[in-house]
Amino acid sequence: MVIPGTKVRVRLAPSPTGQIHLGTARTALFNWLFARQNNGVFILRIEDTDRERSEKKYEEEIIEGLKWLGLNWDEGPDFERRNGKWLITSKGDFGPYRQSERGSIYKKYLEELLREKKAYYCYCTKEELEAERQEMISQGLPPKYSGHCRNLNQPPKDLKPQVIRFLTPEVKVEFNDLIRGKTVFDANLFGDLIIAKDLEEPLYNFAATVDDELMKITHVIRGEDHLSNTPKQILFQKVLGFKEPAYAHLPLILSPDRSKMSKRYAETSLLEYRRGGYLPETMVNFLVLLGWHPKDNQEIFSLTNLIKEFDLKRVQKAGAVMNTRKLEWLNSHYFKEMQTETILERLKPFLTAGKISAPEETLKKIIEIERGRMKTLKDFMSGASFFFKLPDYDVSLLSWKQEPMPKVKTTLEKVLALIQEIRQEEFTHALILKSLSELAEKEGRGEVFWPLRAALSGLKASPDPVAIGEALGKEETIRRLKIALSKLNESR
Ligand code: GLU
């Protein structure tokens, strides 16, 4: 798979024409892992030659998505410019390659092909081509360009060239895909391929071939939807005297119902999962299992252990079905396993958006309480909101099993008195519990802890009241108990 002595160089080459979707993220991950485990180089190349459809904001989203997942790239034109040579860094904090900045390079190769008569200007108009196509279909032939402009001696007078075409040789193209094995295409079916609109605007297959050569790409790992592009790129390589990289085409990602994944924004957009409160750790773990089979049935993988474990040879050919339930399962798993500080880090954008600010120590305590029942970071925002703002509640909530209100009031007054006695610096779970234990024994646990929990959370269901108290701190606990007591006073 890797020729000894050569440095592995791989690339992610997304077109910034839409949201970064899961397929692109998975391609990025597989390339990144392959580079890392071979001590190689991972390149990000933005394929923005389609000027109409490419947008800067999509490029930014691609970069944001990769950074979010922790998939840093190793080279970029900024470094090239600054140092006149490649510099490897692991920070990924510099720009990617952009095809839009490399126009003169493609132009040079287009001119070379035109000069050597391996490419030619085509003057046929869209209408003429369409008529030709219809004619072939009506004759029962597979439609392809007739080659009309191939042998023009002189450019036709008064006609403008429409595109540049490649003189496609009538050969069979064979390559050994690392996942799919021997793959053969009949180039005869392609007709003369369009490689550029003009000298300034090369099309994808041509620009990508040139870049893969100049960037010394050793392995092209990309989605199966590009399989039919590979023979075309190989034809260009042969004519231009380029090296042929190894190819690995990753299986399609299928919807849970096994249909081809819809382009529905919410289902396919990587950043939509971030907005939905999924962790980058979850996404990496989820993505790597889309088509790759670990040796034993292990399911939990971090980027670090994937560098060791991942194996391109164990990627399947058949479509990879998305199991969205696994996403939640993985997320819950990570919430249980992760360091509290890491969860806090991941939560920060949500806290900022929700305008929630609290000391880190408090937030960490709340995370400790909530992590066991969180499926997404959004769950924290809804489940833990009572910590930040006491919801309004009906006084009846304070009564455990219809205990009469005067009795509830006396108990809560006792609770308040005990709480007030605890020293500020000793306001810990153990000491709060200790100070209430005698009362709970005498009055009954439910009779003490139910109204305390209701007073502190304002909710029917909430976590352990002592833990809530500790997280809220003495002052806020007292404030909430007093609110409960004033509700009880008013209800009489
Ligand atoms: N630019 C192509 C795309 O966005 C990918 C090209 C490639 O990986 O060769 O799908």
Separation of CA 248 and ligand 1 centre (Å): 13
From 9, 226, 250, 253, the mutation candidate for ligand 1 (largest count of ligand atoms within 8 A of CB) is 226
Confidence of residue 264 (pLDDT cuts 50, 70, 90): low
Separation of CA 22 and ligand 1 centre (Å): 14
Helical (H) or strand (E) element with 180? none
Atom of ligand 1 nearest to the CA of 11: 8
Confidence of residue 22 (pLDDT cuts 50, 70, 90): very high
Atom of ligand 1 nearest to the CA of 222: 8
| Closest residue to atom 2 of ligand 1, CA basis | 14
Q: Bigger pLDDT: 238 or 254?
A: 238
Separation of CA 467 and ligand 1 centre (Å): 52
Give the β-pairing of 201-202 and 194-198. Answer: antiparallel
Look at residue 89 and tell me whether its pLDDT is greater than 50. Answer: no
Look at residue 173 and tell me whether its pLDDT is greater than 70. Answer: yes
| Closest residue to atom 3 of ligand 1, CA basis | 14
pLDDT, tens only, 109-147: 999 999 999 999 999 999 999 999 999 999 998 899 999
| Closest residue to atom 7 of ligand 1, CA basis | 13
**C-alpha span between 54 and 46 (Å, rounded):** 10
Look at residue 179 and tell me whether its pLDDT is greater than 60. Answer: yes
pLDDT at 84: 42
Minimum mean pLDDT range among 65-69, 255-259, 291-295, 322-326: 255-259
How confident is the model over 375-387, as a mean pLDDT? 96
pLDDT at 273: 95
Tell me the H-state helices in 86-125: 103-115
Confidence of residue 6 (pLDDT cuts 50, 70, 90): confident
CB of 249 shorter than 6 A to ligand 1 = no
pLDDT at 306: 97
How confident is the model over 65-84, as a mean pLDDT? 76
pLDDT at 266: 56
Atom of ligand 1 nearest to the CA of 15: 4
pLDDT at 76: 79
User: Among all chains, which residue has been given the structure tokens 């470094």?
Assistant: 79
pLDDT at 465: 97
Atom of ligand 1 nearest to the CA of 223: 8
pLDDT, tens only, 270-310: 999 999 999 999 999 999 999 999 998 899 999 999 999 99
Global pTM value? 0.91
**C-alpha span between 58 and 55 (Å, rounded):** 6
CB of 31 shorter than 6 A to ligand 1 = no
Residue 54: helix, strand or coil by DSSP? coil
Average model confidence (pLDDT) for the chain? Answer: 93
From 15, 34, 212, 232, the mutation candidate for ligand 1 (largest count of ligand atoms within 8 A of CB) is 15
CB neighbours of 97 closer than 8 A, spacing ≥ 6? 43, 44, 45, 46, 75, 76, 77, 211, 215
- Asked if residue 303 lies in contact with residue 284, where contact means CB atoms within 8 angstroms, the answer is yes
How confident is the model over 322-337, as a mean pLDDT? 94
Report the 10 Å Cβ neighbour count for 85: 7
Catalytic residue among 243, 263, 317, 336: 263
CB neighbours of 382 closer than 8 A, spacing ≥ 6? none
Look at residue 169 and tell me whether its pLDDT is greater than 50. Answer: yes
Confidence of residue 440 (pLDDT cuts 50, 70, 90): very high
CB of 21 shorter than 6 A to ligand 1 = no
pLDDT at 156: 87
Look at residue 82 and tell me whether its pLDDT is greater than 60. Answer: no
pLDDT, tens only, 243-256: 999 999 999 999 88
364 given a catalytic annotation: no
CB of 15 shorter than 6 A to ligand 1 = yes
pLDDT at 4: 83
How confident is the model over 40-66, as a mean pLDDT? 93
| Listed residue (229, 221, 244) closest to 13, CA to CA | 221
CB of 208 shorter than 6 A to ligand 1 = yes
CB neighbours of 284 closer than 8 A, spacing ≥ 6? 29, 69, 70, 301, 302, 303, 306
Separation of CA 208 and ligand 1 centre (Å): 8
Separation of CA 87 and ligand 1 centre (Å): 25
Confidence of residue 394 (pLDDT cuts 50, 70, 90): very high
Separation of CA 13 and ligand 1 centre (Å): 5
Token output for 171: 């050969």
CB of 14 shorter than 6 A to ligand 1 = yes
Angle subtended by helix axes 22-37 and 280-288, to nearest 10: 80
Confidence of residue 61 (pLDDT cuts 50, 70, 90): very high
